[in-house]
Chains A and B, each alone.
Chain A
Amino acid sequence: MSTLAGLGGLVRLILRRDRLLLPLWILVLAVQPIQTAAALDQFYATPAALRELYGTILSTPGLLAMLGPAFDATLGALTVWRAGLVFTVVGLASLLTIIRHTRTDEEAGRRELLAATVVGRHAPLAAALLVTFAADLLLGAVVAAGMIRLGLPATGSVAYGLSIAAAGWMFVTVGAVAAQLTEGAGGARGIALGALGLAYLLRAAGDTAGSDSGLGWLSWLSPIGWTQQTRPYAGERWWVLGLAVTFVVVLATVAFALLVRRDVGAGILPSRLGPAAAAPWLRSPLALAWRLHRGLLLGWTAGLAVMGAVIGSVADSVNQMAADSPQMQQLLQRLGGEKVLSDAYIAGVMVIFALAAAGYAIQATLRLRAEEEGLRAELVLATSVSRLRWAASHLLFGLLGLTVALAAAGLAEGLAYGLVDGDVGRELPRVLAGALVQLPAVLVLSGVAMALFGLLPRLTAVSWAALAASAFLVLLGPLLRLDQWLLDLAPFSHIPKVPGADVAAAPLAWLLAVTALLITAGLAGFRRRDLVSA
């Protein structure tokens, strides 16, 4: 078929471009459920413990909202429940991948380059769909194989693998449709992420309400709900997969239909025009930085706040859950603080928030490098803006922006926790303090990014390696019983476990001093060096 000419070559091109990324996300996502099954098997070794856990889940709306419904007191069924976020994350990875290979290419003009060669009209979208479908299927197969290897029933494992693949497939097609709608990849991502978020919320609402309240049908409006309703290891309902396949066929057809109705480079939705003149406030490097950063900052703040609210609302139930498993109690105490378990849980999760916030901090700080590489820094620095002023305008978001995002997480978490246990006045300040005490450690990573930008601009990606190493040390270091000096290398290791532990000022002051030093070095380096574009 001529509209598919060049399909094979395009598939190879995508595989070549994603030869690292694709295997990486398949691997990372496949490990989650397998690890969960292994951990549950260790901590809830007896059928009685599993039954108690099952009972706790069913009586805790927060857990149902966050992770989804649980259908049986078996190891397999509870693994599917505990790793419930995997369905959403697979959807996320899938829709981002398809948009990256369709609309992003088109926006960058690479699609046009291909369209001028012997490539059929449908071929680029078909190639991107094929590769992403195959990746999801492979992910499902790896999970199924892993579960079978752990000794779980084969039927359930296959159903589980297929449900995960189905979640991916459905959001691949959601992404494919979104990619036809807007001219910019950012807009397409926004639409597809909105659909994913809506699916998650519908499922959460339906699952919390439960089947008796009459609102359980809400889960059935959500593709994510369907994937869980296949009930792996709990009397599989294969027909639900049929729903998913229908959804995929319909949306893929819609995507192709939209594709032929539009020009290359254009979107179905009319691109909105901007203002003909700049608003009066858009007159300084800081104002420009705000324009460039506000979307990202808003997204991170909202994301962390939602996560905080979810964690805060389930924190109280941790006491109950852990009572079912003595091993679990031990582990939590080793990971977190020393007092009540829910405090330990919140303090433990704070580290995750801090690591996420550090991701934002690095991303915001390295915007400097993106602007420099994209030659846009040159435009600003050729006007009467000093290098320091320009660098400070972006760095501000790497420092203050992350403070806002982290505080939002702490506030939402403290509020939700307080509302559940009925004492907002006590919990809110404690949890917020737990979030803010992480700041000095997060700021060190902004400092690392800034120092690299100023001194070794071609190596700014090393900031991400620093974050990955810190995460490894602080999350897995204690479990692996690594030497203390090694753990001390991670800035997060010096943060007290709040709420629960006492706060000593000295380590925090040291971290702030290190940050100040790194930033000063970075700014000084940048003032002296050439602008380098690549």
Chain B
Amino acid sequence: MSTAISISGLVKTFGPTRALDGLDLEVRTGEVHGFLGPNGAGKTTTLRVLLGLLRADAGTARLLGGDPWRDAVSLHRRLAYVPGDVTLWPSLSGGEVIDLLGRLRGGLDPKRKQRLLELFALDPRKKARTYSKGNRQKVALVAALASDVELLLLDEPTAGLDPLMEATFRQVIREELQSERTVLLSSHILAEAEALCHRVSIIRAGRVVESGTLAELRHLTRTSVQAELAAPPDGLLALPGVHNLEVDGTRVRCQVDAEELDSLLRRLTAVGVRSLVSQPPTLEELFLRHYQDQQPAAAGRDGPREEVSR
């Protein structure tokens, strides 16, 4: 299997800040690769180095077999980029921007463009100044996805989209899976990566700290559970994979490794469950888990919630 992107030991500093600190990344041809990390971790900087917009201070980067800085012009014919913060020329219409960017890349499939415009419900006649953030993002997405290119570099492409459009975006990217294009998708939303990506790399403070398929990374994930029981529980501490257990009368609060969730729930229902809140692992928790030696057990509480009561 060939690689579309391979980066090793990449360093980029801005004054005193070390934005990239020895970053390694490998993206295989034909895969959708999730590039995950919190804001400020260095995702955008990496993409901008790959586009030849920034010059690396140290390390090597190869993109589609070429040098991203030296061969920028010829490489850019084979890739399309959607920035995280899309700004357009206020006096141009969305349709004009899409066509222009497509032509500058060396071609655009008009049928595909039409289909994408319909899918994303985008009016291409509006002037760019009147578009919302989400609509500007759609313009850049349509221009990129309708281009006939091998590689898509997408920087947090769903940040301004509503949930409906997010679903449309996922559907379109799944089509890309069949078309054998390579996609590098940067995001800070774990669920998005889970839904779309073959493999993910997790970046933190300018380094890739973890890379692999999501199944391979499953060992990093823990679900946090809060329950109100019919009676005080016992023996929970003895269960394998249960961490940070707090018992306050009939109230239980703990974290559990993904593979032990089942046995914990069996034990709880045996006692009788009045209410249950379980919280899937957020990306932040994933990082905290990874760095738990430095920052133990301060699990985030802002992830999506699922509440079950009876």
Interface assignment of B164: CB less than 8 Å from any CB of chain A: no
Kindly identify which residue among B90, B93, B103 contacts A184, using a CB–CB cutoff of 8 Å.
Answer: B90
- B230 / chain A contacts, CB cutoff of 8 Å: none
Interface assignment of A504: CB less than 8 Å from any CB of chain B: no
Kindly identify which residue among A183, A274, A376, A381 contacts B53, using a CB–CB cutoff of 8 Å.
Answer: A381
Which stretch from A163-171, A285-293, A423-431 is at the chain B interface? A285-293
Kindly identify which residue among B91, B94, B99, B130 contacts A291, using a CB–CB cutoff of 8 Å.
Answer: B91
| Cα of A531 to Cα of B54 in the assembled complex, Å | 6
- B51 / chain A contacts, CB cutoff of 8 Å: 378, 381-382
Interface assignment of A375: CB less than 8 Å from any CB of chain B: yes
Interface assignment of B72: CB less than 8 Å from any CB of chain A: yes
Which stretch from A143-151, A350-358, A383-391, A413-421 is at the chain B interface? A383-391
- B72 / chain A contacts, CB cutoff of 8 Å: 381, 386-387
Which stretch from B75-83, B184-192, B200-208, B294-302 is at the chain A interface? B75-83
Shortest beta-carbon distance, A112 to chain B, in Å? 11
Interface assignment of B104: CB less than 8 Å from any CB of chain A: yes
The interface centre, meaning the residue of A186, A374, A384, A528 with most chain B CB atoms within 10 A of its CB, is: A384
Interface assignment of B308: CB less than 8 Å from any CB of chain A: no
Please state if B125 and A379 are interface contacts (CB–CB under 8 Å): no
Please state if A382 and B76 are interface contacts (CB–CB under 8 Å): yes
Interface assignment of A282: CB less than 8 Å from any CB of chain B: yes
Shortest beta-carbon distance, B130 to chain A, in Å? 6
Please state if B83 and A384 are interface contacts (CB–CB under 8 Å): no
| Cα of A272 to Cα of B101 in the assembled complex, Å | 23
- A387 / chain B contacts, CB cutoff of 8 Å: 72
Of all chain B residues, the one with the shortest Cβ separation from A272 is B127
- B100 / chain A contacts, CB cutoff of 8 Å: 278, 282-283, 287-288
Kindly identify which residue among A272, A274, A285 contacts B104, using a CB–CB cutoff of 8 Å.
Answer: A285
Interface assignment of A116: CB less than 8 Å from any CB of chain B: no
Please state if B127 and A274 are interface contacts (CB–CB under 8 Å): yes
Interface assignment of B85: CB less than 8 Å from any CB of chain A: yes
Of all chain A residues, the one with the shortest Cβ separation from B147 is A383
Shortest beta-carbon distance, B141 to chain A, in Å? 13
| Cα of A459 to Cα of B94 in the assembled complex, Å | 32
Beyond A276-B125, A385-B73, A386-B73, whether A378 also contacts B53 by CB under 8 A is yes
Interface assignment of A506: CB less than 8 Å from any CB of chain B: no
- B94 / chain A contacts, CB cutoff of 8 Å: 274
Please state if B88 and A376 are interface contacts (CB–CB under 8 Å): yes
- B95 / chain A contacts, CB cutoff of 8 Å: 274-278
Please state if B87 and A374 are interface contacts (CB–CB under 8 Å): yes
Of all chain B residues, the one with the shortest Cβ separation from A376 is B87
Interface assignment of A59: CB less than 8 Å from any CB of chain B: no
Q: Digitize A257-284: 1 where CB-to-B-CB distance is under 8 Å, 0 elsewhere.
A: 0000000000000011111111100111
Interface assignment of A107: CB less than 8 Å from any CB of chain B: yes
Shortest beta-carbon distance, A202 to chain B, in Å? 30
Interface assignment of B39: CB less than 8 Å from any CB of chain A: no
Please state if A274 and B93 are interface contacts (CB–CB under 8 Å): yes
| Cα of A480 to Cα of B75 in the assembled complex, Å | 58
- A241 / chain B contacts, CB cutoff of 8 Å: none
Interface assignment of B170: CB less than 8 Å from any CB of chain A: no
Q: Digitize B96-134: 1 where CB-to-A-CB distance is under 8 Å, 0 elsewhere.
A: 111111011110000000000000000011110110000
- B75 / chain A contacts, CB cutoff of 8 Å: 384
Of all chain B residues, the one with the shortest Cβ separation from A385 is B104
- B105 / chain A contacts, CB cutoff of 8 Å: 383-384
Residues facing B in A504-534 (CB within 8 A) are 528-531
Shortest beta-carbon distance, A108 to chain B, in Å? 10
Please state if B55 and A276 are interface contacts (CB–CB under 8 Å): no
- A198 / chain B contacts, CB cutoff of 8 Å: none
- A379 / chain B contacts, CB cutoff of 8 Å: 83, 86-88, 101, 140
Interface assignment of B243: CB less than 8 Å from any CB of chain A: no
- B74 / chain A contacts, CB cutoff of 8 Å: 384
- A531 / chain B contacts, CB cutoff of 8 Å: 48, 53-54
Interface assignment of B92: CB less than 8 Å from any CB of chain A: yes
Interface assignment of B291: CB less than 8 Å from any CB of chain A: no
Q: Digitize B122-161: 1 where CB-to-A-CB distance is under 8 Å, 0 elsewhere.
A: 0011110110000000001000000000000000000000
- B86 / chain A contacts, CB cutoff of 8 Å: 375, 379
| Cα of A380 to Cα of B97 in the assembled complex, Å | 10
Known: A381-B53, A384-B105. 17 other contacts (CB 8 A): A107-B129, A183-B130, A184-B91, A272-B127, A274-B95, A274-B126, A275-B125, A277-B124, A278-B97, A284-B104, A374-B87, A376-B88, A378-B48, A378-B51, A379-B83, A384-B75, A384-B104
**29 A-B pairs with C-beta separation under 8 A:** A183-B130, A184-B91, A186-B91, A271-B127, A271-B130, A272-B127, A273-B93, A274-B93, A275-B93, A276-B124, A277-B95, A278-B97, A278-B103, A282-B96, A283-B103, A284-B104, A291-B89, A374-B87, A375-B86, A378-B48, A378-B83, A379-B86, A381-B52, A382-B80, A383-B101, A383-B104, A528-B55, A530-B54, A531-B54
Rank and list the top 4 A-B pairs by shortest CB-CB distance, nearest first.
A274-B93, A278-B99, A383-B104, A273-B125
